[in-house]
Amino acid sequence: MAKLPRYGEPDGDAERRRYAGIVAQAFAGDVDAFTGWINSAGPDVRLLRDGDVQAGLVFYRMGQFFGGRSVPTWGVAGVGVKPELRSQGMARELMSALLQENFELGAPLSTLYPAAPKLYRNLGWEFAGSRCAYAARLSELPHGDGSLQVRPLDDSAQELLSELYRRRHAVENGCLDRIDRIWERVKRAPRETPLCAYVVERNGVPEGYTLYIQKREPGAGFRYDMHARDLVCLTRDAARELLGFFARNRSVANHLYFYAAPQDPLLIELQLNQEVRVHERQDWMLRIVRVPDALQQRGYSAHVKTEAQVTIDDPALPDNSGDWTLQLSDGRMQVERGGRGGPRLHVRGLAALYSGSLAPAQLRHAGLLTGTEQHDAALQAMFAGTTPWMPDFF
Ligand SMILES: CC(C)(COP(=O)(O)OP(=O)(O)OC[C@H]1O[C@@H](n2cnc3c(N)ncnc32)[C@H](O)[C@@H]1OP(=O)(O)O)[C@@H](O)C(=O)NCCC(=O)NCCS
């Protein structure tokens, strides 16, 4: 039998199961649950092997909204190396091989949540946005005036959820253009805390929805907390109506936990009555895998007409390195080789600039942008936008 290549897709169920064993041990989880997760990824699983499976990962082919347009990205998850083989460069080898494949055949971006940021930074990923969970006391939530109605949804409502999600999140830098596998994650709930789904409508026209579970903390008696997976409000009235809906559980529940942008309109509403604290924050990293495609597929303001030159440094993908000219007009970016005399921008800095996470002056303080400051104002105007975030984890 021919020897399998060092890097590649699992060869059948046995290799999938062996990788499931590695991730289950790495993340202290259940092998059967991880096997199901790996199988749901179909062909989007990659392993390193030398006879036996040594390391692996899963990826999601999805989109991420930047400047109002969905840009394809490979979202990487489940990176794991056998415990006895760690600190020998195996994760670096696996991620380098994936990056090369991503560059040659895949999406212009790659996105991930890092447990070991140095591993990814070394290869060109940089922190570029956050996922913040906030906590609010139910007893102090605002109420709607009753002009909108809240109605339960059943499993047939996916199309409506997708439409409302998209209308709210497509304008936010960094939010995922969700694929089915991400929606399944959002909706997955343990049997003892089933998912609840409600839409808020004005005369039958939807203005928002929520998906949530109810969870009792050990030792809290009969009281519980409400955890929104999605709390999507297209209008201020919808926000007040849904918050009031949650508040009507205050006799038996304490808090509402929800994901929102760092400067979310929902927070403005809540902060009228209470201090809203960040309960948990995780930061995600972005990799600009193919510089011209990534820049040309992003959205931009149609009111900015400007040009900038940059010299990109990308040690891991040298095809991205070199001089580039960026021309923006009518909301479309043209990217061409050449144009000397611009500043040096590390590809990690480009990721943070691209997402809207760091402006040129901040990149300079981080050492990711050096040389002439002549193009900084143009770069700032091109990438100005909302603070990048996402409500999802993957
Ligand atoms: C994190 C993990 C994948 C690293 O694998 P590995 O083969 O040991 O890593 P490498 O030897 O290729 O090291 C690559 C870089 O990652 C960094 N790194 C490695 N292990 C790390 C760890 N446990 N914590 C933080 N950083 C780590 C190293 O510093 C190294 O950078 P350097 O060469 O500049 O020093 C491995 O320890 C693992 O499977 N851990 C459990 C699961 C996990 O955390 N996965 C990451 C999810 S994003």
Half-sphere exposure of 150 (CA within 13 A, CB side): 22
SS3 318: helix
Residues 31/18, Cβ–Cβ less than 8 Å? no
Pairwise CA distance, residues 259 & 74, whole Å? 22
Mean pLDDT of 277-290: 97
- The answer, yes or no, to whether residue 328 has pLDDT greater than 90, is yes
Q: Say which amino acid occupies 198.
A: Y
**Averaged pLDDT for residues 36-42:** 97
Q: Report the atom number in ligand 1 closest to the C-alpha of 81.
A: 39
According to DSSP, residue 223 is labeled -
Digit-coded pLDDT (tens) for 352-392:
999 999 999 999 999 999 999 999 999 999 999 999 999 99
The CB of 282 under 6 Å from ligand 1? The reply is no
Sign, Cα dihedral of 7, 9, 12, 17: positive
Closest CA to 354 of 74, 66, 61, 63: 66
Using pLDDT thresholds of 50, 70 and 90, give the confidence band for residue 1: low
Q: Is the CB of 83 under 6 A from ligand 1?
A: no
310, pLDDT greater than 80:
yes
CA 349 / ligand 1 centre spacing (Å): 22
Distance between Cα 115 and ligand 1 center (Å): 8
Q: Model confidence over 122-154: pLDDT tens digits?
A: 999 999 999 999 999 999 999 889 999 999 999
139 in helix, strand or coil? helix
Per-residue confidence at 327, pLDDT binned at 50, 70, 90? very high
Give the helix/strand (H/E) hosting 75: strand 69-81
The per-residue pLDDT for range 143-198, each reduced to its tens digit, is 889 999 999 999 899 999 999 999 999 999 999 999 999 999 999 998 889 999 99
Ligand 1 atom 14: the closest Cα is on which residue?
119
Note if the pTM is more than 0.95. Answer: yes
Residue 364: the pLDDT is 98
Kindly tell me if the per-residue pLDDT of 214 is higher than 70: yes
Residue type, 89: G
Atom of ligand 1 nearest to the CA of 122: 34
Atom number of ligand 1 nearest to Cα 88: 11
87 lines ligand 1 (CB under 6 A): yes
Is the CB of residue 227 less than 8 Å from the CB of residue 130? no
> Rounded distance, CA 230 to CA 207, Å?
14
Compute, in angstroms, the gap from residue 120 CA to the centroid of ligand 1.
9
Q: What is the mean pLDDT of the chain?
A: 97
Residue tagged 């927070």 (tokens)? 267
Q: Which pLDDT tens digit goes with each residue over 40-86?
A: 999 999 999 999 999 999 999 999 999 999 999 999 999 999 999 99
What does the pLDDT read at residue 374?
97
- Cβ–Cβ < 8 Å for 241, 235: no
Please report the domains of the chain, with CATH numbers, ordered by start residue: 7-124 (3.40.630.30), 132-284 (3.40.630.30), 290-383 (3.30.1050.10)
In percent, the amount of the chain with pLDDT more than 90 equals: 94
Say whether pLDDT at 340 is over 90.
Answer: no
